[in-house]
Structure 1
Amino acid sequence: MIQLGILGLGTVGSGVAELIQKNQETIAKRLGKNIEIKKVLVRDLRKKRPFIAEGKITDNPGDILEDSDISIVVELMGGEEPALTYIRQALASGKHVVTANKEVISKHGKELLDLAQKEGVNLFFEASVGGGIPIIRPMKQCLAANEIIKIMGILNGTTNYILTQMTEKNKSFGDALLEAQKEGYAESDPTADIKGSDAARKLAILSSIAFNTRITPDQVYTEGIDSVNLVDINYARELGYRVKLVAMGKRHSDEVEVLVAPMLLRERHPLAGVSGVFNAILVEGNAVGRVMFYGQGAGKMPTASAVVADIIDAVRSKNGNKIYCTCYDELNVMNPGLSTARFYLRLRVMDKPGVLSKISGAMGENQISLSQVFQKNTQNGTAEIVMVTYEVPFENLQNALDEIKAYRQVEEISSVIRVEGES
């Protein structure tokens, strides 16, 4: 009998309890052992709890962390504290830990993995990225023979749902966000999603594994989708693109480029067709080439699936098969200004002769070549200019735009969005 303690019984915690109960017989046959949930930590003892027998609920963390019969602690509280403290205490007590906590892992993963190694136990965190999509284990094991060149993914279901509604239903950003909240896909405070910080945490975890160097969320250049306009969605469609919030990590000899930003993807790009709340991750290795992982990136049961799989691995690893921190390199994180890309630009300017020539001159002075230029929606003496550049360092574009903003004929630089892939 393997006894578990679960910290937190929210959406994912209740899903884990439900899945263990539902598939108990199958899990026991695969493991040759039964798994029992001994104690569950909650905040409110009075609240009714499904799938948990009477007597297993506690509001005292010591009932789990100090119980020698509990060999695996499952942390599903979320947030940095007190989750981080409890994980440290569990590992220091010689207990395996399974967590879905992307904030703790992205900020403190190396410290916790080193502590696990010192204590001879395992720390599993498959569910911290991609919900039910297996990605951590494949990168650490199945792709271990490869040097990873690039990872690229849609890592946040909320923003993907919003952009899908804008693209397919022609909804404004505000209306699409309200719809996401109504359907339960977005929190009442969606800041972490729409500003890109949720995806940045997940990218930090994936990049640390992929490039064998420690990457933290504060090192990830991050833009959100709150500045993406329905006009840009429709212009992108005219040009043969879809707009997605993309997390990307790329190896450049002794540097790593990491960023989260809206991007225009060609309609034939594998990530362009990922719709709704689904997530997908492309991994490019020097031997395997490009492989893609796709599925439900969040939700009660998909995430519970990944957590319970980690619990099963923790049981199997009790006598060996431990994988610790693989951040053996110390690579620099590339200055975002040196990152190169093609860019989509939308500007509002006075509809007068010479304005476009002046803008093109500022681009040329900063070594920026234009691939496509369109004049759209001319009315009341104002024209909308849409441009797509060839590949250029980001700082060159910023310098050019700083000059262009100062021109009295330019009323607004409305949008600047990266364009991924070929011209």
Structure 2
Amino acid sequence: MSATWEPEPHGFATAQVHAGASPDGDHGARIPPIHLTAGFVFEDFDTARDRFAGEADGYTYTRMGNPTVEAVERRIQVLEGGLGALLVASGQAAVTTALLALAGSGDHLVVSSAIYEGTRGLVRDDLGRLGIAVDFIDDPLDLAAWRAAIRPETRALFTESIANPGTDLVDTGAIAALGREHGVPLVVDSTFATPYLFRPAEHGAAVVVHSASKFLAGHGAALGGVVVDGGFDYPAERFPHLHAPHPSLGGDSFAGRYGRQALGAYARGVVAPRFGPVLSPLSAFVIQLGIETLSLRMARQTASALALATWLAEQPAVERVDHAALPGSRHLELARRDFPRGVGAVFSFTVRGGEPAARAVLGAVRLASHMTHVGDVRTLLLHPATTSHAQRTPEERRAGGVEDGTLRISVGIEELEDLRADLGRALDAATAATSPDRERESAAAAVA
């Protein structure tokens, strides 16, 4: 294989095992080695000076860049169809890095309400304390609401390609086009989709972020996040910091030197190294191994999730199933248009009987793991109302499709029949736990 890997005309599965990698030049190792080092020795005085000035290739300190991490960045960049990629310590670090590269005190964000609760808290509370305002869009499919929320101070639109936990979708292309009309970039968290199912940059997104801990890594063994630069023409009136001369560029501006890639360069050169959310080279290596089987896992998990959602919708103990590809979903047309390979492996279902029924399901499953994670090769279950969405009011939870009996499931690679059997037993347990006879027995025991 040549030292420079060319992405065309190779397909996705080829790219996921070859992009960004070449045999180790020193020893010929086929797998890129793990460079577990804090810093790098300089050949001489001039080399050190030139690297710090950005005038010579090479590495200075792992917080600024590392060969192992860089190889994985190139692979994700190719898979997402981006112009560059930056690996950081977690998905939350990726969202934070991207938004802080765009906005500062006095600025404003427009954010979908159907997002991960950690991101909601970040933009509302933490960025709010820094003077960054936010407006949430209650119905992310309402393009007029997005348009009405944009102000002169707006610096980013933010959404998820597949929302947590009910697989709500958005019209990424339409929101991105609206943003371009106003000179505002769209940032898309595409963790649940992965580039195998959906590539937001191809629909106009300026920035794509992932929690690489999830489907990219795939085995629940490493934390990581990634910021992918999709390219954008950043207007000076909204992003003066990208157009101002910067000391690290010898007086040049990021927009002047990097053009449409200004945001990615600024995030890498200014935001990430100063806030310090560095990814361990060991974690990067683990994420890389996961990416090599991404298409195989996503195809199987996505197909199993749809089959399981269809089966659950037929069970008497289940009140509702939220999956964008099911008949009757308000997201079905978007799913068919933008997600021909499916809408992923995570969805939610609500059992009859509220929290007692949900408790019974979680207590009865043996194959599914009860934990706060998604994207694992193992099937995972969680009760959002008392965990991930516990800080929302009951009204906010209901508006987001989270009821007392709602469970989120992340479907793994197990045999579908085994998953049906495990959930079937659990649903029987939920029915028994919430039956009128059981309720009368509980009431009698309380009186006695």
When you count strand as a share of all residues, which structure comes out higher? 1
TM-score (norm 1): 0.30
TM-score (norm 2): 0.29
